[in-house]
Amino acid sequence: MTDTPRRYPDPAVRALDPRFNSLRLALASVECLYQGTRWSEGPVWFGDGRYLLWSDIPNNRMLRWDEATGAVSEFRKPSNNANGNTRDREGRLVTCEHLTRRVTRTEYDGSITVLADHYQGKRLNSPNDVIVKSDGSIWFSDPAFGINGFYEGEKQESELTPCVYRIDGHTGELSIVADDFAGPNGLAFSPDESILYIVESRSEPRTIRAFDVSPDGKSIKNGRVLIDAGPGTPDGFCVDIHGNLWCGWGMGTDELDGVRVFTPEGDAIGHIALPERCANLCFGGRHRNRLFMAASHGLYSLFVNTQGVKGG
């Protein structure tokens, strides 16, 4: 996708702390897999088909990148301004939709099941990011970003306070797990699922907060700020098997655009520079050691010396 000469080790992958050195590969560089989106989001890996899906929200479509050929095709259009995506514990696609203000599941036959679109009789705002816990429960953030204008959805009135919700994996019951956020955004569990991390993207500065998950897995407590982003803009993120947080980052500068890597304690240890802001990312590939990065206008990847959490 580019004629720019590249060399090893890739200078775009830099350590901010010696602890990052064990996570990087000397003979791996950032690869641009696609250019042509307006705002890339929600990458999710399908290992059984060797392909990646991701959202192009303003263009109202989802795209598919095939590992075997490198070809990119439209997976779904219209997508109802789809944003975040993940897979449930049966391998089915779960999607947050801005336009319809709902969370859906794509069944094996291609039909769509609505998992959540109302809470106590009121419409959700615009579900943003989504993850699935090992007990089958689905957790998603619901800020008002998609209904604030006509670019990533349609302008509509908010009926509910922005919250983070949980859908019970057995009963389908929808419950609120966090309601004190200024713009809840990306979320992820620690490898043992004892901690839930949530991006607060409308605080100043933006933060990533950590919460202890209750023993029954249905609620959270003991909220605290794990990461003060300063001038950075954390959005979506994912966690590796060591508990490190790989966070979409940027604010239109060479120093910030890309991916910022943090330890479980919240220490910044590494940065992957991209030519544009990264919104979200996931691990994929046969060994879950390939980082896929959905950035503003494109899709990038980098092989790393760690693995994404299984099922995450």
Q: How many CB atoms lie within 10 A of CB 263?
A: 17
The residues, ordered by sequence, that sit 6+ positions from 87 with a Cβ below 8 Å of its Cβ are 44, 46, 93, 94, 132
41 known member of a binding site: yes
**pLDDT per position as a tens digit, 71-97:** 999 999 999 999 999 999 999 999 999
Quick check: 4 pLDDT over 80? no
Q: Is 235 an annotated catalytic residue?
A: yes
Does residue 244 belong to any structural domain of this protein? yes
**pLDDT per position as a tens digit, 247-299:** 999 988 888 999 999 999 999 999 999 999 999 999 999 999 999 999 999 99
Q: How many independent structural domains does the chain possess? A: 1
128 known member of a binding site: yes
Does residue 203 belong to any structural domain of this protein? yes
Mean of pLDDT values over 29-45: 98
Does residue 8 belong to any structural domain of this protein? no
Is the model's pTM score more than 0.85? yes
Residue 7: the pLDDT is 87
Does residue 312 belong to any structural domain of this protein? no
Does residue 225 belong to any structural domain of this protein? yes
Does residue 260 belong to any structural domain of this protein? yes
Does residue 226 belong to any structural domain of this protein? yes
Does residue 115 belong to any structural domain of this protein? yes
Host domain of residue 128: 13-303
Confidence of residue 2 (pLDDT cuts 50, 70, 90): very low
Give the active site residue among 56, 88, 142, 235.
235
Structure tokens that stand for 81 in this block:
């301004």
Q: Domain of 113: which CATH number?
A: 2.120.10.30
Quick check: 312 pLDDT over 80? no
